[in-house]
Structure 1
Amino acid sequence: MKQKKIRVTGGFLKNRILHSVTKINVRPTRNFVKQVLFNWLQNYIKNSICLDCFAGSGNLSIESVSRSAESVTALEKNYILVKKLKKTIKVFLINNISVFRVNTLIWLKKYSKPFDIIYLDPPFNNKKLLNLSIKYLEKYNWTHNNSIIYVEHIDDNIFYPDNWKLMKKKNIGTVSLSLFYKSIII
């Protein structure tokens, strides 16, 4: 299997390479996609509290911290990915990413602390996982008014609450990038 190199695209860690994720069925967010996303987030990322629901390699978590997020909570159930992410965090001397080896859906049903920015990038072949994650974010109060939610998906037929307003959307090949913010319904 070809080694997948993941590079930080901006901020104080720019051009640093994350530990490789070989022999693992993971689809890290490509550099071009990250650049689009973080251009969208440039006015919101500084001092934000972020949640990375399907962290995988930790690509979005590390990019967020590099671009001045205050902290990131990274959720990932794969032991090897969690181990690699923790190693990368240690090597990069990052102290504001908390990594939890956990099933995201179970975690979202147990805790409740709103986040400023939430990343939802689950495996593309599991639309139910994406829709349940969105439902739980709302049901268990993970969002506050003006939270920003990033969804990376391949199917436009996804559930999202009426109070999530689409800010930006871009299709890159078969991948759709959608950026929402939570607003007050009047």
Structure 2
Amino acid sequence: MKSAPGRIRIIGGQLRNSRLDVPELPGLRPTAERVRETLFNWLTPVISGARCLDLCAGTGALGVEALSRGAAAVHFVERDARAAQALRDNLARLKASGGEVTAADAQAFLQGAAQSFGLVFLDPPFAQNLWTPLAEGLEQGGWLAPSAWIYVESPKGLPPVLPVAWSLHREGAAGEVRYALYRRTAAVS
């Protein structure tokens, strides 16, 4: 279901049909085109002007797709220095403004000074089982706007444990991947 390392295509917006160079790295899983297409169809009413966080960015396909479709800004966080540099290079080559890349471990990043984001892409490496700690870090650390949208990609059949303030909006599956869009609701006391 994932595109092979090498190049992946942006499927919509002003960068439509542009290609992202993808380094050959173990465990790198670019989100499949049809999953991205479905996700961004769901996000059409909210993507314009959104401030986004692409946590565990990998190729950055989700964040670049958001920029292409009108997001105001995307902060990409990727711990692998080679993937982070490839993402910087892709943003520069595409002249995609509004993207900022931080080469850091996602959990360590969430320990820093929080910024509020209206849309977060949470697609960590499957083998590391980071959904719950990263979700808790986002929720407790002040990283989410009051009604933020959170996209979560995880193995099919193993939905992650997420904060109670995150309400499932829509979900789907492609191959062995479950993808879901959540909406943050008022804090539960």
| TM-score bracket relative to the smaller structure | over 0.9
- The AA in structure 2 aligned to 1:140 is G
Further displaced range: 155-164 or 165-174: 155-164
What residue in structure 1 maps to residue 29 of structure 2?
Answer: 27
Quote how far apart the aligned CAs of 1:5 are: 2.2
Once residues 27 and 8 of structure 1 are traced to their aligned partners in structure 2, the CA distance between those partners, rounded to angstroms, is 15
The answer for the alignment partner of 1:134 in structure 2 is: 135
Gaps of 5+ in 2: none
Deviation at 1:126?
1.9
Shift of 1:157: 3.9
SS at match of 2:77: strand
Corresponding residue of 1:82: 84
Deviation at 1:178, TM superposition (A): 0.9
Indicate yes or no: 2:64 matched with 1:73.
no
Q: Deviations over 1:64-110 (max 9, x none)?
A: 10000000000001111111111111111122100000011011011
Partners of 1:111 and 1:81 in 2: how far apart?
23
Q: What is the letter of the counterpart of residue 127 of structure 2? A: N
- Counterpart in the other structure of 2:48: 46
User: 1:140 deviation in Å?
Assistant: 0.5
Using the size of structure 1 for normalisation, the TM-score is: 0.94
Aligned Cα root-mean-square deviation (Å): 1.4
Task: Count how many residue pairs are aligned between Structure 1 and Structure 2.
Answer: 184
- State the distance in 2 between where 1:76 and 1:105 align: 11
Structure 1 position 156, deviation (Å): 3.1
User: Which consecutive unaligned segments of at least 5 residues does structure 1 have?
Assistant: none
Letter in 2 for 1:144: A
CA distance in 1, matches of 2:182, 2:105: 24
Aligned partner of residue 46 in structure 2, secondary structure: coil
Paired residue type of 1:79: A
Deviates more, 1:168-177 or 1:19-28: 19-28
* 1:62 matches 2:75: no
- Please say if residues 6 and 21 of structure 2, whose CA atoms lie closer than 8 Å, have aligned partners that are also in contact: no
Per-residue deviation, 1:24? 4.3
AA at the equivalent of 2:84: V
**Cα distance in 2 between the residues matched to 1:157 and 1:131:** 10
